[in-house]
Structure 1
Amino acid sequence: MSEHIYENPDLIFETNYEKTIFESPDVINDMHNYVKMKPNESSAKAKTQLEQLDNVTLNIAITGESGVGKSTFVNALRGINDEDDGAAETGVTETTMNPISYSHPTMPNVYIWDLPGIGTPNFKAKKYLKDIKFDNFDFFIIIGSLRFKENDIMLAKEIKKMKKMFYFVRSKIDQDLQAEARKKGFDEEHVLSRIRLSCKENLLPIGNPKVFLISTFQLGKYDFQRLIDSLEENLSDHKWSALIQSLPVCSLGMIEKKTQELYRTAAAAATAAATTAGVPLPGFSVGCEIGIMQKYLQTAHMSFGLDDKSIERLAQRVNKPRDELKSVMKSRFAAGVNKTVVANMFRTTSMVAAKAVEVFLTGIPGFGNLPAMGIAFGTTLTLLRNSVKEMAEDAKAVITAAGL
């Protein structure tokens, strides 16, 4: 590698990250894959992948007996408050008499279903699954508070027979801990272990299912991240991508999950953008499609909960001024993502990157005569991933300011 690249400060990205494109093996690997394909072929494939991500439908079923907090959990997954317009109706009695679907506010193809309670004396699991049109759902979350009951177990057995995924969520953990905290010698981990053991003993009739302890009002604590990890193992790539982008930013772990997924999908966006349309890269005969980059970055921005509506909902939930949360966002995307912001990226960072990439790649075997479109791809991919890094830092600052 030429030493003068590092000595020239003009060749360093403006995003204040220590690593440049030269130190990113992921970018180099993706460029290798890119140049193996014909430009038209790779662009068409990438656009198909992006369309699949946009159009994939995910249906999540939330069920359990009345009073366990199904509707509140539905709202929490959507990142909205119980009092917001369009929120699932909550109450101390059963408020859901028929299956009701709620689309996600920023991911309209993600549907979270609030199903009727299963606590009636004459409950029949087979009939219940038939009535709610079982096949429509990708997986089930069975919620219980205090303990799981016979109806929960009956339902899980039927779902298992039909080879669908189901997960047990023990809700209202925060309330249990508050009650136990009044006792002498309180130990939070001991209480949580005791609750887990009780749930497992309760569910022995269906084997040894995983049970996740969750507080709807504090998703970042307890087992919510473990639940998401289990879902990642059992969903297809496209459905997982839709899920992780839709989930609320509730912890540093969630920000990391979102960042990893956005890195993965950035390659498809960069491939689709590295076409002859749009803004030309300096020194090359090709250009990049600003519209594709803008759409990708807008999706990332909303996924990190940095859009105005998400910040407003968070401010209301944590009872802090909206402007206080907005003030900690320091990236170029603090005011949002629009065509001007994306175009300005080409006037600064990308020009430096494109020239630096060209110099660097001439010294790598197999890349010496890399087509201009390949360089445009590498530059665009680096821009997108560095933009995701910036947004992730903003997201971390926001949840810290919010006290999460």
Structure 2
Amino acid sequence: MADSSADLDFSGALQRLGERDPNTAAAKAKEQLDSLDGVTLNIAVTGETGAGKSSFINAFRGLNDDDDNSAPTGLTETTKVAAMYTHPTKPNVRLWDLPGIGTPNFKANKFLSEVKFETYDLFIIISSVRFRENDVFLAKEIQKKQKRFYFVRTKIDNDVRSVAKTRKFDEQQVLCTIREDCHRNLKELGNPKVFLISSYDLGKYDFQDLVDTLELDLSENKRFALVQSVPVCSLAMLEKKKKLMEKFIWLAALGSSVGAVVPVPLLSVAIDKTILVAYLVSCHNALGLNEQSLIALSERMNKPLSQLKSAIKSPLPVTLVDKMAIRPRIAMTKTVHVDGKFIANSFINATEAFKSTCSVLRGALNDMINDMKQVLQAAGLDE
């Protein structure tokens, strides 16, 4: 299921699912799509108070700090207990804002038991200055439990801005100095990778690299959930999402086939439009073409919402599916009563339906990708 399916034909789709009967294969394809949508990903975000955990969580979810349902931010300790924040369009992707390590409410030696360590798939340890003893302690404890952790140095934009007006300003040198400082404080752990991030401009610095790394470390289903949930903040991220979505077009096309091989002469292959709508809506949301995402992007980049919306030319998923001209051909033959003859013709019908549906879905996805490229350009994020 992980390979590209751009050239997959109907017989190949059946073979990939290990089924000979098209109807059984269609049911299995739908089951796999449901499984992808239902996978749960729990990401814990922790670090010392004021490190920018909440802002990172909001940015990861494509929200601004003052949006509805955003994680509260502030200069003082705002997180008293572990707080779960679901993704706006992928509710099974959950980011957890954990209390600051070493605060009066949570001592480091009790931290893991207090926050129910076993709940999370991975940990992101955040600092806005330098990583300290408590950060190293937590990483060691996570290692003992054989779970993944990642160091993220936030507020990089502030660091760069603070020295940008100096005579010998060199941004790359500033970033290199910050990395070296982080590594010095984490030398007990070997040489862990540190991702430099600005929560207010995910398109810069290391956010793409962080997502690439998380993706490689997750199982395929959780990888799908991760890539779908992160915001499109650059052309590189858009391309990553496109490649992922293309992999599952064949499942949506096959899963939407109802009665692929039917026992009634001249009965057309039916198409379950709800599955196609669900797939396209999922793509639409993941690309950030939905209203909520566009509003957040407009506010973040200080661009008129109307300017971003005017870049979108493709129809909404529901409208598109209603207009889909998928018309499987029916063999008008007089030999339908010959044993096996109608079955063969019906298989041809199903093959044509699969091919047509894949073609329409690929075209729709490409249109949405092109729209999002124009949105990024209108927002000034197309570099």
Pick aligned residue for 1:380 from 332, 352, 357: 357
Question: What SS does structure 2 have at the residue aligned with 1:230?
Answer: helix
Paired AA for residue 252 in structure 1: L
3-state SS of paired residue (1:59): strand
- The residue type paired with residue 343 of structure 1 is D
- 2:377 equivalent to 1:400: yes
| Aligned-partner residue type, residue 65 of structure 2 | D
Q: Is the 8 A contact 1:34 1:374 kept in 2?
A: no
Measure, in 2, the Cα distance between the counterparts of 1:337 and 1:86.
Answer: 26
Change (3 A) 1:168 1:30: farther
Q: Is the 8 A contact 1:274 1:380 kept in 2?
A: no
Residues 137-160 of structure 1: CA deviation (Å, up to 9, x unaligned): 010100011210000000000001
Q: Which residue number corresponds to residue 286 of structure 1?
A: 269
Aligned to 2:340: none
Query: Does structure 1 residue 47 correspond to structure 2 residue 30?
Result: yes
Distance apart, 1:32 and its partner CA: 4.2
Distance 1:323 1:292, change over 3 A: same
Alpha-carbon separation, structure 2, partners of 1:300 and 1:249: 12
In the other structure, the counterpart of 2:127 is 144
SS at match of 2:258: coil
Paired with 2:346 and 2:290, the residues of 1 have a C-alpha distance of: 42
**Matched residue, 1:174:** 157
Residue 27 (1) aligns with residue 6 (2):
yes
What CA distance in whole angstroms lies between the structure 2 residues aligned with 1:30 and 1:233?
A: 28
- Where does residue 103 of structure 1 map in the other structure? 86
Rounded to whole Å, the distance in 1 between the matches of 2:249 and 2:39 is: 17
Paired residues in the alignment total: 355
Query: Residues 184 and 368 of structure 1: is their aligned pair in 2 closer, same or farther, counting only changes over 3 Å?
Result: farther
- 2:236 alignment partner AA: G
Q: For each residue in 1:41-99, what CA deviation from the matched residue of structure 2 results, as whole angstroms up to 9, or x when unmatched? A: 21122111111112111111000001110011111111111111111110111110100
The CA distance in 1 between the partners of 2:249 and 2:366, in whole Å, is 12
Q: Is the 8 A contact 2:44 2:122 kept in 1?
A: yes
SS of 2:324's partner is: helix
Distance (Å, rounded) in 2 between the aligned partners of 1:296 and 1:318: 29
Tell me if structure 1 keeps the 8 A contact 2:5–2:247. no
Q: Please give the alpha-carbon distance, in whole angstroms, between the structure 2 residues aligned to 1:296 and 1:235.
A: 22
- The answer to whether the aligner puts 1:297 opposite 2:276 as a matched pair is no
Query: Structure 1 residues 265 and 29, CA, compared in 2 at 3 Å: closer, same or farther?
Result: closer
Q: Does residue 206 in structure 1 map to residue 189 in structure 2?
A: yes
- Aligned position for 1:197: 180
Once residues 243 and 26 of structure 1 are traced to their aligned partners in structure 2, the CA distance between those partners, rounded to angstroms, is 21
Structure 1 residues 187, 238: closer, same or farther in 2, change over 3 A?
same
Instruction: List alignment gaps of at least 5 residues for structure 2.
Output: 261-265, 330-343
Q: Say which SS state the counterpart of residue 371 (structure 1) adopts.
A: helix
Q: Is the 1:106–1:302 Cα contact (8 Å) retained in structure 2?
A: yes
2:39 counterpart of 1:59? no
What's 2:56 paired with? 73
Contact 2:79 2:99 in 1 (8 A): yes
- The answer for the alignment partner of 2:292 in structure 1 is 309
Kindly state the Cα deviation for residue 251 of structure 1 after the two structures are TM-superposed.
0.6
> Which secondary structure state, in structure 2, belongs to the residue aligned with residue 63 of structure 1?
strand
How far apart are the structure 2 equivalents of 1:284 and 1:269?
A: 22
Deviation at 1:329, TM superposition (A): 1.1
Query: Hey, what's the Cα distance between the residues in 1 that align with 2:322 and 2:26?
Result: 21
* Cα distance between partner residues in 2 of 1:103 and 1:200: 32
Matches within 5 A, 1:213-292: 213-276=196-259, 285-292=268-275
SS of residue matched to 2:84:
strand
The answer on 1:345 being equivalent to 2:324 is yes
TM-score (norm 1): 0.83
3-state SS of paired residue (2:200): coil
- The Cα offsets for residues 88-147 of structure 1, whole Å up to 9 and x where unpaired, read as 110111110100001111111111111000133796545211110001001010001121
Structure-2 separation of matches of 1:370 and 1:40: 11
Letter in 2 for 1:159: I
Any idea what the Cα deviations from partners look like across 1:8-55, whole Å, max 9, x if unmatched? xxxxxxxxxxxxxxxxx9433353422433212211221111111121
Q: Percent same amino acid among aligned pairs?
A: 50
Task: State the one-letter code of the partner of 1:31.
Answer: F
Task: Look up the match of 1:16.
Answer: none
TM-score by length of 2: 0.88
> In the alignment, is residue 326 of structure 1 matched against residue 309 of structure 2?
yes
Give per-residue Cα distances to partners, 1:319-369, cap 9 Å, x unaligned: 2221111001122x2xx221x4212121xxx45xx67xxxxxxxxxxx999
The residue type paired with residue 98 of structure 1 is V
Equivalence for 2:339:
none
* Structure 2 CA distance for aligned equivalents of residues 269 and 97 of structure 1: 43
- Contact 1:61 / 1:113 at 8 angstroms: preserved in 2? yes
Residue identity matched to 1:389: N
Which whole-Å CA distance do the structure 2 matches of 1:232 and 1:190 have between them? Answer: 28
Opposite residue 262 of structure 1, the aligned amino acid is M
3-state secondary structure, aligned to 2:95: strand
Where 2:366 maps in the other structure, the secondary structure is: helix
